[in-house]
Amino acid sequence: MRRACATLWIVLAAAAPAAGAGRFADAVAVAVSGSPGAYQFRVTLESPDQSCSRYASWWEVVRADGSLAYRRILEHSHPDEQPFTRAGGPVPVGPDETVVVRAFLHPDGYGGALLRGSVRSGFAPWLDAPRDFGAALATAAPQPERCLY
């Protein structure tokens, strides 16, 4: 029995998200509704929120060329609600357009798990994303005006 527990632990550790590894905000799920050019995205994030000093401050939808399609500002930290889901839109993308969904952790930035796919085909982890993909978007508008708590 002790050996079975050790084997189970190894399997769980291997299945844990690797990209953010607790330091960044991870995009872990996406659900989409609506119509082409005006979709509503429901994005689930997991992040090491502590307070306004360290929290997931937005999630965004990024086009394959690295341009911003949509950004959902998060106005407060979620230290006691992990993972958490927030909806946003309308997101102006087509049903077959490949996009990336990711999150930004204030003050550490991008670096967590990303999801890539399309409305029609669904989303899956993007494990080999270039480290600098869409890096310039960190300073693009819109930006959070403040963190409430």
- How far apart (Å, rounded) are the C-alpha atoms in residues 43 and 61? 10
Q: Based on the number of CB atoms within 10 Å of its own CB, is 115 exposed (0-12), middle (13-18) or buried (19 or more)?
A: buried
Report the chain (149 residues): mean pLDDT per 10 consecutive residues: 32 33 87 97 94 95 97 92 95 98 96 97 96 95 94
Residue 79 lies in a domain: yes
Identify whether 106 is part of a domain: yes
Q: Is 63 within a domain? A: yes
Q: Tell me, what's the pLDDT at 22?
A: 65
Rounded to whole angstroms, the Cα distance separating 128 from 49 reads 25
58: CATH: 2.60.40.10
Boundaries of domain holding 23: 18-128
State the first-to-last Cα distance of the chain, in angstroms, to the nearest integer: 45
Given this model, what pLDDT does residue 136 score?
95
- Enter the tokens of residue 16: 């844990």
User: What pLDDT, on the 0 to 100 scale, is given for residue 6?
Assistant: 32
Q: Give the pLDDT score at 9.
A: 26
Total domains in the chain come to: 1
- The amino acid sitting at 101 is V
